[in-house]
Amino acid sequence: MDTTTGPRPGRARPERIVAARGARTDQLVAVNVDSTRLGPALGGCRVRHYRTWQDGLADAARLSAAMTGKAALAGLDHGGGKTVVALDGSFARGRADPRWRDLLADVADAVEQFRGGYVTGPDIGTGPADMDVIGERTAHVLCRTEAAGGSGDSSVPTALGVDASIDAVCAHLWPARDFSTLSFAVHGLGHVGELVAARLAAAGARLVVTDLDESRRALAGTWGATWVAPEQALVAPVDVLVPCAVGGILTPRTVGELQARAVVGAANNQLDDDATALLLHARGITWAPDTVVSAGGIVSSVAREREGATVDEARRRVRTIGARLARLLEAATVSGEPPLHEARREVDRLLATGRSALSGAAR
């Protein structure tokens, strides 16, 4: 493989991009390391079709920059990176293609070029079993299956981080109320959303739920929740909207129609544009930045696989997401600015100093 940009001088971001066609499969494999200022870069491996390979590179750049913020705000001694494999038309069958293992070997070779400066993991299009295959060629991989010695599926710790975040937001806005007096709309009942909704239901909250997948409707019955269409869930008259499906759901239009007082959930990249954070703020809606809320998976896998923590210790560290979010919300209240701006400032400070007041908070 060829390195398309070498290590860049100083601390410019992105620090290094390796993008080349895999030796075995001829598919474009791009690893974008945004920052190693706080430690080796973390970021999953996304495998999908893009309109053009340039779109794949742009996705890798955007996602790796977001990972820098996510790792820093989680109090981890890690930076951000991302692998994107932009499949061409010859790979129409995706993971059913007989060359799938070869594709993962191409990814492992790209990861190895960073000599530990970048650590990959699952993302859209890959899962723990794929990490086992990548792990045959490189040690710099997280979330292999538990059978292979990894920490496996990250949805459980991610949901735990969302739980801690919901607790923090509710304590911030309604210190005197418990869940039995609050209502939530959970948008998306997949791996994470189902766990989050189940806990809210068990705590006696009034629930509105939805999913594009009609087979998830039966869950609503088991919780005594109200099932609505996806677009209705976004604007339901509830206290908290919990996005656990897809990104881009917070737009000028949807924000104008929101009835919730707070938005806190796992979905990545909830804002269509950063400026939408200002619209939420202007409407008095508390938006918990998804980079903070959805970090449970990386906090847990780093704790267990890189630092040897027990499952209980990893869970304890994931729950610290609540305390970090609470501090962010407090700071935003004091400054009168959206939490997103506080989060940005914190990331900039961390990267400038290489160290954080929050550093160690995940320990």
Ligand X SMILES: NC(=O)c1ccc[n+]([C@@H]2O[C@H](COP(=O)([O-])OP(=O)(O)OC[C@H]3O[C@@H](n4cnc5c(N)ncnc54)[C@H](O)[C@@H]3O)[C@@H](O)[C@H]2O)c1
* Residues binding ligand X (CB under 6 A): 154-155, 158, 187-193, 210-213, 216, 230, 244-247, 266-268, 294, 297
Q: Which is nearer to ligand X, 18 or 169 (CB)?
A: 169
Least Cβ distance, residue 122 to ligand X (angstroms): 8
Three-class HEC string of 218-261:
HHHHHHCCEECCHHHHHCCCCCEEEECCCCCCECHHHHHHCCCC
State the minimum distance, in angstroms, from the CB of residue 161 to ligand X.
8
82 catalytic residue (yes or no): yes
**Residue 144 structure tokens:** 């292999």
How far is Cα 284 from Cα 286, in angstroms, rounded to an integer? 6
> Of 37, 46, 78, 82, which residue is the catalytic one?
82
Comparing CB distances to ligand X, the nearer of 105 and 195 is: 195
The tokens describing 109, both together, are: 């070779």
Residue 234 CA to residue 254 CA, distance in Å, equals 7
**By C-beta, is 104 or 196 nearer to ligand X?**
196
The nearer residue to ligand X, 25 or 151, going by C-beta atoms, is 151
Query: What's the rounded Cα separation, in Å, for the pair 244 and 239?
Result: 16
Joined together, the tokens standing for residue 132 give 């086992």
Structure-block tokens of residue 209: 């739920």
CB of 178 to ligand X, least distance (A): 26
Residue count (the chain)? 363
Cα–Cα distance, 55 to 48 (Å, whole number): 11
Q: What is the DSSP letter of 94?
A: G
* Cβ-based nearer residue to ligand X, 19 or 250: 250
The set of residues, in sequence order, having a beta carbon less than 8 Å from that of 25 and lying 6+ positions away, is: 91, 99, 102, 103, 106
Query: For the chain, how are helix, strand and coil distributed in percent, rounded to 5?
Result: 45, 15, 40
Distance from C-alpha of 343 to C-alpha of 339, rounded to nearest angstrom: 6
Residues marked active site are found at 82
